[in-house]
Chains A and B, each alone.
Chain A
């Protein structure tokens, strides 16, 4: 484990200024309800505009419509979007992970087919990992794919599939060979599946706060052609374990409640804060500063060819816990009975954050799993 401090170069600072100018023009404060980090609304127009600036698919190769930009450049764009609560939901998953997975493991034909539309912000991906009996233990997936002429027939259920009802595709982990001798890492494959395919049914599962975004995806004899099997069949586990290893420590793992803190400060404009409030705010601001520097270091390490999987896990574990801690600090400071219909933006955002907050330390790898990953490389 090693975190070497870094900082933005003049060119990177220029990009930051450009993104800030763009967002100030596109999303003036007070004209929209800021999202809580990556749990943002789908806005296809916004995704397209962002793509037109070259800020979607930044890390993908130019020859597939991407931009060959660095992990740090992507970090700069993403942190500004997240801290502004921009409506990035439509392209978020494809931009953060599906694009790089297809680039890394997909066939040439898949790269040519998917990467340009990902980079144009014209396709929304969901992730089909969890099943009713398979959560953190990903290798235990049992969704069955059976060989048929020119492809595979899929039967089974995926669950907790965010935004499947409004996305175009999902990347689905399934079992192409039955498990043998208890070796559950063998025989898994990932498939790129059009969510409009016949036999595929999406049933909404209302999220804890009543929002529709969660889903069950039931597949009955769904045909997936061979050309939609990601890379080589049977390589699903290897693809999956490397997929998120380095993406874990990004700004989406510590900025989810930043907007709430910003609104807390906004609600105090004109009235000096008491010592207790100002100390609590200062403690949060200091931690944002520290976490951002660690997270930026992870991005820099990726650009320098390192493999910061332990560092990423460490940042994600502490970042997501911090996202929840900010809410605990704030509730100590404000006298309110939170309501989702409140006229106060701070109160509405606080309510939404509290209701969705438990998911911060669950999604994309629970903190228990992350601790286990991080504990393997603790020596500094």
Chain B
């Protein structure tokens, strides 16, 4: 509603995201990540023009300190750019290059490459073994699954929990297959055959890097992408229902159709709010509750809103010629990435169990702050 657009956040001056950043990101993604670009990326397994524009604007490295070769800004800034990227179904490893992989490299003091970075989300069937040799080099064997755009990435940033090292694995050290997710985005199996990584690409991870911290960043990135995609999907659906006429009037005038729109709007609004709060909290530090809760909500909302929006679109939404599938297929994919939905709701449930009934409501109001 335009009447309420003047509302400003009451507090959180420490981590407020500048609206200029959102606007700039929206402008860029609207221009480069359009229908044709997203459609073409699926066939080509890459979107060079989208990547080039995003990289030139420095958007890929927001949230990574300038001292480490990044663009600076907070993780909340980076999250806002991810949300916008999600709204435009941007087919590039933006989070992997920035707040996940870029963060890993920066924490370990390893250089950022000019091109994309990818990160393995850690699947149960991964078979990778890491051997850190006496001279500081590392030897990698086995495979990692569902690695986004591994073939097109300059570096795979790897955290080896056992040795506490971050390894900047060059593209030349691995081979990839042709797997994709449900949206046609590369999620490749990366295979190593006694790959030797030189010592200057292996470094101490530093105290910030833990498997939990890594997974939380991965989860947060998917929450942001989903929040953007849900909002874009709602707008697309509302527009369609205003234009599409049946029985002599726009289908959006029918209450049965309005119901789909209202439910999708709730899912979009709920996810966006959860995502922005999780991002705000992540910029301050411990956000384990907010990220898990936001992820649980986003997963549920992605499932219900895709159903509502597809139903409102009828057969129109079932073709590759219309943009809905760019969003719905990504939502179906993202909800399962960086651990499945049950793991995130289970995490929230364990937090609740750990604080007990008397403190359940304080946990809901204070979030992660109540856990520490």
Contact = CB atoms under 8 A, between A and B. Distances in A.
B10 interface: yes
Interface string A265-278: 11011001101011
A289 B265 contact: no
B315 interface: no
Given A4-B9, A7-B11, A9-B11, A378 B265 contact: yes
B342 interface: yes
A148 interface: no
A294 B269 contact: yes
Interface string B318-342: 0000000000000000000000001
A2 B7 contact: yes
Contacts of B172: none
B213 interface: no
B299 to A, nearest CB: 9
A378 B272 CA distance: 14
27 contacts: A1-B1, A2-B1, A3-B273, A9-B10, A266-B356, A273-B349, A277-B349, A278-B349, A281-B348, A281-B349, A282-B293, A282-B344, A282-B345, A286-B293, A286-B294, A286-B296, A287-B300, A300-B7, A306-B7, A308-B1, A308-B4, A310-B1, A317-B266, A372-B255, A378-B265, A379-B235, A380-B272
Interface of A: 1-9, 16, 20, 29, 79-80, 83, 258, 261-263, 265-266, 268-269, 272-273, 275, 277-283, 285-294, 297, 300-301, 304, 306-308, 310-311, 314, 317-318, 368, 371-372, 374-375, 377-380
B75 to A, nearest CB: 15
A244 to B, nearest CB: 18
Contact of A265 (B265, B353, B367): B353
A292 B365 CA distance: 8
Contacts of B353: 265, 268, 272-273, 278, 281
B280 interface: yes
B270 interface: yes
Contacts of B292: 282, 286
Nearest to A287: B297
Q: Is the interface of A mostly helix, strand, loop or mixed?
A: helix
Contacts of B276: 5
Contacts of B280: 5
Given A282-B349, A314-B265, A379-B235, A6 B11 contact: yes
A272 B364 CA distance: 21
Contacts of B8: 4
B258 A371 contact: yes
Nearest to A1: B1
B364 A282 contact: no
A289 B349 contact: no
A314 B165 CA distance: 48
B262 interface: yes
Given A4-B8, A6-B9, A301-B7, A280 B266 contact: no
A296 to B, nearest CB: 9
A283 B273 contact: no
A285 B268 contact: no
Interface of B: 1, 3-12, 231, 234-235, 238, 252, 255, 258-259, 261-262, 265-266, 268-270, 272-274, 276-277, 280, 289-290, 292-294, 296-297, 300, 342, 344-353, 356-358, 360-365, 367
A289 B293 CA distance: 8
B350 A278 contact: yes
A247 B175 CA distance: 59
Contact of A29 (B268, B350, B358): B358
Given A2-B4, A279-B349, A292-B365, 17 more contacts: A1-B1, A265-B353, A268-B353, A275-B342, A278-B349, A278-B353, A289-B290, A289-B364, A290-B274, A293-B277, A301-B7, A314-B265, A318-B266, A368-B255, A375-B261, A375-B262, A379-B238
Of the candidates B266, B268, B274, B277, the one having the most CB atoms from chain A within 10 angstroms of its own CB is B266
B307 to A, nearest CB: 15
Contact of B352 (A83, A285, A310, A372): A285
A279 B342 CA distance: 6
A293 B273 contact: yes
Contacts of A297: 273
Contact of A378 (B261, B294, B360): B261
Contact of A281 (B4, B352, B358): B352
Given A7-B12, A279-B349, A374-B262, A380 B364 contact: no
Contact of A2 (B5, B9, B270): B5
Ranked 4 nearest A-B pairs via Cβ: A282-B349, A282-B348, A278-B349, A282-B345
A290 B297 contact: yes
A288 B289 CA distance: 13
Contact of B270 (A263, A281, A294, A378): A294
Contacts of A314: 262, 265-266, 269
A317 B258 CA distance: 13
Contacts of B262: 314, 317, 371, 374-375, 378
Contacts of A374: 262, 265
Contacts of B238: 378-379
B346 A307 contact: no
Contacts of A290: 270, 273-274, 293-294, 297
B1 A283 contact: no
Contacts of B1: 1-2, 308, 310-311, 377
A56 B292 CA distance: 36
A116 B344 CA distance: 49
Contacts of B6: 304, 306
Given A279-B346, A378-B234, A258 B7 contact: no
Of the candidates A5, A83, A272, A318, the one having the most CB atoms from chain B within 10 angstroms of its own CB is A5
B293 to A, nearest CB: 4
Contact of A269 (B297, B357, B365): B357
B126 to A, nearest CB: 22
Contacts of A372: 255, 258
A346 B347 CA distance: 24
A304 B363 CA distance: 27
Nearest to B274: A290
A297 B276 CA distance: 13
Given A278-B346, A285-B364, A292-B365, A380 B11 contact: no
Nearest to A267: B357
Nearest to A20: B362
A280 B8 CA distance: 35
Contact of A375 (B9, B258, B296, B346): B258
A378 B5 CA distance: 14
Contact of B345 (A4, A7, A279, A379): A279
Contact of A286 (B235, B269, B348, B350): B348
